[in-house]
Amino acid sequence: MKDYKIEINLTTKRKTKPQFDRLEFGKHFTDHMFIMDYTEGKGWHDPRIVPYQPITLDPAAMIFHYGQTVFEGLKAYLTKDEEILLFRPEQNMKRLNRSNARLCIPQIDEELALYALKQLIAIDRDWIPSLEGTSLYIRPFIIATEPYLGVASSKSYQFMIILSPVGAYYKEGMNPVKIAVESQYVRAVAGGTGNAKTAGNYAASLKAQEEASKTGYSQVLWLDGKENTYIEEVGSMNIFFKINGEVITPALNGSILEGVTRNSVIQLLRHWNITVVERKISIHEIHQAYNEGLLEEAFGTGTAAVISPIGEFFWKNEKLVINNGETGPLSKKLYDSLTGIQNGTQPDPFGWVVRV
């Protein structure tokens, strides 16, 4: 790795840390952040680590009007030996650049970004919680900063990385979620931005989530935008089904985000000689498998929850209860294996883990 020059300006006023045994997700932030600027003609410049501080922008900055922005999400874990582990972070930097390409944001130097991330984490290492299931959530993001009211690509950007200590996702053991199948709202469509990690996709999803939660469902199952038939994602996660011994996940089609957890699950399953197929799968096929008693398990995959077992789908006034609403054995095994690799308590056959 090259020796990148990152200016470091440490804080003189360290914050009081929250209680690490009762952390909420995404509410607390560490003492420092990474920033780098982009200026047309000059490229990305001035990478620096500075005290965590507010962003000051002109009210006409394009991020506020035209949503030109991308982000990533990954985690760092502290092992019992006080080592800091990242899980496939190069995948997140690659995806950030794929998102950049879709949103017309200039490419970043992935190696520099990773180097900066490691530096930042090393500086704020006291903020990494160590209790079982806890971690340091990492949020790299880029925003368009040019003050200009016109629909065009911005001529200036800021790339930032902020860090947030997060508690265990499952505080009282794995708890399957209930999911409403969404038939009115659409998250993304082929030709849109669904396979980019960009703000507008999440803004579009809020309404469906709000309406589902009114009827007691915590997330929605997204169907495709063209035919409202094929399954795409669940909440902000990729989705897997176990049907009659075989594992199926929707094929990447341009409107599905290519999850790092999704890819890792596929590799793990193949490693275990379990058949896993990436293909189109319709809600009707799920319903039929359910009726025939062949729908054995369903689960979401994503950085936050790692594996999120699904206990029930609500579709057209019918409740499809899966595995008696309990966590299935495959979901559990995947969760244990992945989190074990991530936090260093299990061997890492794929070389996924990166030490800071």
Ligand X SMILES: Cc1ncc(COP(=O)(O)O)c(C=O)c1O
Sites of contact with ligand X (CB under 6 A): 73, 197, 233, 236-238, 257, 259-262, 301-303
What is the footprint of a copy of itself within residues 71-130 (CB under 8 A)? 71, 73, 102-104
Residues binding a copy of itself: what is the number (CB under 8 A)?
69
Residue 33 sits in the site that holds a copy of itself (CB under 8 A): yes
> Nearest distance from residue 121's CB to ligand X, in Å?
18
Q: Which amino acid is at 286?
A: I
Stretch that binds a copy of itself, among 84-92, 120-128, 195-203, 312-320 (CB under 8 A): 195-203
Q: Which is nearer to a copy of itself, 60 or 277 (CB)?
A: 60
CB 39 within 8 A of CB 26: no
List the single partner that 199 binds among ligand X, a copy of itself, none, CB under 5 to 8 Å by kind: a copy of itself
Residue 170 sits in the site that holds a copy of itself (CB under 8 A): no
Residue 324 sits in the site that holds a copy of itself (CB under 8 A): no
Q: Which is nearer to a copy of itself, 168 or 274 (CB)?
A: 168
Q: Which is nearer to a copy of itself, 126 or 210 (CB)?
A: 210
Which residue reads 């499809």 in tokens? Answer: 320
> Nearest distance from residue 14's CB to ligand X, in Å?
30
Residue 137 sits in the site that holds a copy of itself (CB under 8 A): yes
Q: Which is nearer to ligand X, 129 or 259 (CB)?
A: 259
Distances (CA, A) of 326 to 289, 298, 332: 18, 11, 10
Helices within 187-328 (DSSP H only):
199-214, 260-271, 283-291
Residue 55 sits in the site that holds a copy of itself (CB under 8 A): yes
Within 10 angstroms of residue 64's Cβ, the number of other Cβ atoms is 15
List the single partner that 262 binds among ligand X, a copy of itself, none, CB under 5 to 8 Å by kind: ligand X
In angstroms, rounded to a whole number, what is the distance separating the alpha carbons of residues 337 and 227?
36
Q: What is the CA radius of gyration of the chain?
A: 21
CB 30 within 8 A of CB 163: yes
Q: Which residues contact 306 (CB under 8 A, 6 or more apart)?
A: 169, 261, 335, 338, 339, 342
Among 18, 51, 106, 200, binds a copy of itself (CB under 8 A): 200
Tokens of residue 317, six digits: 């006034």
CB 290 within 8 A of CB 320: yes
Could you tell me which of 244, 250, 209 has the C-alpha nearest to residue 231?
250
Q: Which residues contact 267 (CB under 8 A, 6 or more apart)?
A: 350
- Binding-site ranges for a copy of itself (CB under 8 A): 25-27, 29, 33, 52-61, 63-69, 71, 73, 102-104, 137, 139, 141, 143, 147-153, 160, 162, 164, 184-193, 198-207, 209-210, 225-228, 235-236
